[in-house]
Amino acid sequence: MTHEGRPVDDWWDGHFSGLAEEAWEALAPADSAREDADFIETALALGPAANVLDLPCGNGRLALELAARGHRLTGQDISPGLIARARRHAARRGVNVEWHVGDMRVPLAVAGGYDAICCWGDSFGYFDDGGNRTHLRAVHAALRPGGHFAVELRMVAELLLADFRPRLAGRAGDISVRVEREYDAQTCRLESRYEFTRAGRTERRHASYRIYTCDELRRLFGACGFESIAMHGKTGCAFGPGADRLRIVAMKPAA
């Protein structure tokens, strides 16, 4: 069954800016990039100086950690503000990454293809089903034969719906964050409305995710040309009860 539903507006255009941009950065644990890079190097069997695309790269958290380990990194994101922030972080750390502003449905191509492409931090499922297929096929085309695609998601049905809460509230540093969420079972989309507040100033954002089951994701990746599709939990064990996120590793068939 497909759930094309209504067209999805470009909610991500401008979403990751202002207080929202600061909040998302504050919410990332300081050591999470190291843990994520450990997983990626191991699960994707990255060789020395692997050619890796972080897509979308956000503020460069993961790309910078992988680059610091000697890999050749390209970071691509549709947000000029996030790319500017990533450049500043790279300059402070003295790490070399090629940064590129662009839509993740159109990955920056390199001769021979990438050894690995990463889509981390709940960055899969932004589009409708057609857009998500376009994204996957473009990633597949950008990889070298035998290259790997890795995705990290908490926005997966088995996790989201097991303990669904329509309202969330918390803090990201000195920013208050409130979220109202609605899940549409007909379109399988999660609609979230955010309020970010600091010192009396409030900014509002909207986000929309296509929520897939693990089985739907496995079939979707397979239909887009990937094989050896593995579903991991946080520690690299098979995804199952007790997991707090899903990590997918899939391979483009070797020539």
- pLDDT tens figures, 63-113: 999 999 999 999 999 999 999 999 999 999 999 999 999 999 999 999 999
Q: Which residue has the higher pLDDT, 64 or 6?
A: 64
The pairing of beta strand 246-251 with beta strand 143-153: antiparallel
pLDDT exceeding 70 applies to what percent of the chain?
96
Identify the band that residue 240 occupies on the pLDDT scale cut at 50, 70 and 90: confident
Pull the structure tokens for residue 39.
């997983």
Q: How far out from the chain centre does Cα 55 lie?
A: 7
pLDDT at 16: 86
What's the whole-number mean pLDDT along residues 172-198? 97
d(CA 105, CA 109) in angstroms, rounded, equals 12
Domains of the chain: 18-154+212-251 (3.40.50.150), 161-205 (no CATH)
pLDDT at 119: 98
Tokens 């500017």 correspond to: 84
Q: Are 41 and 68 in contact (CB under 8 A)?
A: no
DSSP H or E stretch at residue 201: strand 201-210
pLDDT at 236: 66
pLDDT at 6: 45
At 131-151, the pLDDT tens digits run 999 999 999 999 999 999 999
Pull the structure tokens for residue 192.
């979230």
For residue 81, what are the CA distances in angstroms to 22, 57, 214?
Answer: 11, 12, 33
What's the whole-number mean pLDDT along residues 106-126? 96
pTM: 0.93
Instruction: Kindly give, in sequence order, each residue whose CB lies less than 8 Å from that of residue 128, ignoring residues fewer than 6 positions away.
Output: 4, 5, 7, 8, 210
For residue 98, what are the CA distances in angstroms to 48, 51, 76, 110, 124?
Answer: 18, 11, 8, 12, 22
pLDDT at 8: 56
Identify the band that residue 7 occupies on the pLDDT scale cut at 50, 70 and 90: very low
Of 208, 187, 204, 186, nearest to 196 by C-alpha is 204
d(CA 115, CA 249) in angstroms, rounded, equals 13
